């Protein structure tokens, strides 16, 4: 069996040098151990862990390529969104046109406007969540990079080849395991750096996406407000119409007037709730915009701090400014120069 699997190696009983560590090679070694009966648990586990590290390396390399591709496509996508925003041609609703529209058509228009507004509002909320997640991911990436660097410093660098022994053994697999872990961690480091470096251009695209959503939300809110006002006015006119159409003493006149009045009250209540909801959403959006602007200023400051950390003149001042922002404390007189410089840069 050994001769069939490795004829050039095992026929002479010598170790093989110059083989590349691959999934196929590990699968063969694991199969040989399992075919032998009951292999030592620690030995089999070591080969399986090595195989897992190689899978992790392949996944991280795929992440690395995806982040590079995302960075390259983000600028192009941002330009396309800008072109869509500039190409928006929206004709506002006219009160005169709404007044002559049948009730069914007006109600259908209001329903469609509400659906479109809800869709764009949810789209903007999803964008805000991605922006927030990206902002919080920055600190996580830095912490993980530090962990990886500390671990890589303890591992021997992975070579281009491995030594294949005559039989699977701990002596054989131990350097394999270290090499596989080194390769996986190094690939993860590359992916994290690519993620980190692509964040500015990806965030820029997201802010443009948000601008597009906000543009449509503003247009739809204006149209919906006019349509609801027309519906409300029409409800008031219904009672007046019935009063003039059916004189006093007409059988069922009061019942019709009561139904029309209750319908008008219900419509007015619905319109009021819709307006208050729109106002609350607008207030929430303004708060979100302010929060995002603060986050962008903070991110800019962090980038400056990271870039200026090696500067003996400005690095300490900027670092003090970042720490002050993190604590959210009162301005300390001892940090006043740092705060002044940081505010000016922001």
Cα gap 288→91, rounded to integer Å: 28
Q: CA-CA distance, 198 to 75, in Å (whole number)?
A: 11
Amino acid 173: pLDDT: 92
Question: Could you give the CA distance from residue 135 to residue 141 in angstroms, rounded to a whole number?
Answer: 11
Runs of H (alpha helix) within the chain: 2-5, 7-10, 23-35, 41-86, 95-99, 103-152, 170-245, 253-308, 315-327, 336-345
Mean pLDDT of 257-262: 74
- Mean of the per-residue pLDDT values of the chain: 78
* More reliable by pLDDT, 70 or 10: 70
Task: Please check the confidence at residue 215 and state whether its pLDDT lies above 90.
Answer: yes
The helix/strand/coil state of 164 is strand
Of the listed ranges 31-35, 87-91, 214-218, 258-262, the one predicted with least confidence: 258-262
* Beta-bridge partners for 104: none
Q: How does DSSP assign 211-232, residue by residue?
A: HHHHHHHHHHHHHHHHHHHHHH
- State residue 46's pLDDT score: 94
| pLDDT level of residue 2 (50, 70, 90 thresholds) | very low
- Confidence at residue 201, expressed as pLDDT on a 0 to 100 scale: 86
pLDDT average, residue stretch 242-247: 66
What would the pLDDT profile of 83-142 be if each residue is shown by its tens digit? 999 999 888 888 888 888 888 888 899 999 999 999 999 999 999 888 888 777 878 888
pLDDT at 58: 94
- Alpha-carbon Rg for the chain, nearest whole angstrom, is 34
The pLDDT of residue 80 = 94
How many degrees, rounded to 5, is the angle at CA 146 between CA 179 and CA 183?
A: 15
Instruction: Match 């119409």 to its residue by tokens.
Output: 241
């Amino acid at each position: 069996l050994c001769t069939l699997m490795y004829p050039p190696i095992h026929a002479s009983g010598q170790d093989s040098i110059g083989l590349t560590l691959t999934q196929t090679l590990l699968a063969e070694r694991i199969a040989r151990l399992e075919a032998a009966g009951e292999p030592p648990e620690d030995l089999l586990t070591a080969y399986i862990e090595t195989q897992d590290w190689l899978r992790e390396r392949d996944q991280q390399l795929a992440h690395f390529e995806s982040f590079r591709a995302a960075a390259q496509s983000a600028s192009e996508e941002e330009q396309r969104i800008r072109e869509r925003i500039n190409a928006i041609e929206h004709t506002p609703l006219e009160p005169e046109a709404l007044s002559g529209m049948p009730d069914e058509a007006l109600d259908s228009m209001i329903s469609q406007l509400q659906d479109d507004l809800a869709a764009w509002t949810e789209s903007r909320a999803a964008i805000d969540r991605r922006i927030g997640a990206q902002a919080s991911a920055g600190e996580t990436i830095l912490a993980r990079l530090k962990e990886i660097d500390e671990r890589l410093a303890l591992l021997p660098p992975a070579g281009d080849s491995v030594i294949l022994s005559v039989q699977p053994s701990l002596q054989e697999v131990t350097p394999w395991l270290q090499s596989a872990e080194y390769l996986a961690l190094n690939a993860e480091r590359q992916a994290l750096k690519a993620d980190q470096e692509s964040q500015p251009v990806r965030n820029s695209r997201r802010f443009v996406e948000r601008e597009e959503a906000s543009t449509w939300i503003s247009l739809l809110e204006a149209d919906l407000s006019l349509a609801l006002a027309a519906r409300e006015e029409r409800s008031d006119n219904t009672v007046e119409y019935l009063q003039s159409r059916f004189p006093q003493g007409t059988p069922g006149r009061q019942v019709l007037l009561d139904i029309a009045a209750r319908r008008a009250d219900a419509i007015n209540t619905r319109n009021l709730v819709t307006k208050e909801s729109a106002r609350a959403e607008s207030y929430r959006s303004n708060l979100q915009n302010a929060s995002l602007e603060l986050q962008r200023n903070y991110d800019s400051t962090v980038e400056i701090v990271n870039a200026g950390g090696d500067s003996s003149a400005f690095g300490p001042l900027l670092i003090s400014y970042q720490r002050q922002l993190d604590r959210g404390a009162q301005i300390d007189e001892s940090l006043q120069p740092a705060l002044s410089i940081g505010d000016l840069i922001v």
